Amino acid sequence: TVGDGSSPTIFDKIVSGEIPSNKIHDDELCIAFRDVNPQAPVHFLVIPKNRDGLTQLSKAREDQKALLGHLMYVAQELGQKECPGGFRIVINDGKDGAQSVYHLHLHVMGGRSMQWPPG
């Protein structure tokens, strides 16, 4: 995946269903599905269905504030349901943020006691 946002990513194929995923949420704006390489007993991703320039959080436009709020709201709803003892939400942004897929996604992790600070 190139990081300049010029090409679609594997997440577009997950949205379209071309690539299967273990989906736990689907609404008009976003989906959530389990991470293929989980870093915690519970680890899922919340992504906008339409990337629309949101290759990464730092590319967000003012007119996308409501969408960003929606993603965060869905993330906590699912997080509470799956991890009643608490959870962590992470957004990796850019090279130094360890981002690998350039389609905005919130990581939600839990199901164990998380450590802080992270690596």
Cβ-based nearer residue to ligand 5GP, 9 or 67: 9
Tell whether residue 98 is a contact of ligand 5GP (CB under 6 A): yes
CA dist list (Å): 48 to 37, 41, 65, 98, 115: 20, 23, 12, 20, 28
Edge-first strand order for the sheet with 87-90 is 23-26, 30-34, 42-48, 106-110, 87-90
* Interacting residue with ligand 5GP among 7, 58, 80, 100 (CB under 6 A): 100
Cβ-based nearer residue to ligand 5GP, 20 or 84: 20
Start-to-end CA span in the chain (Å): 24
Contact letters (x/-) for ligand 5GP, 53-92, by CB under 6 A?
A: ---------------------------------------x
Tell whether residue 24 is a contact of ligand 5GP (CB under 6 A): no
**Radius of gyration of the CA atoms of the chain, in A:** 14
Cβ-based nearer residue to ligand 5GP, 35 or 82: 35
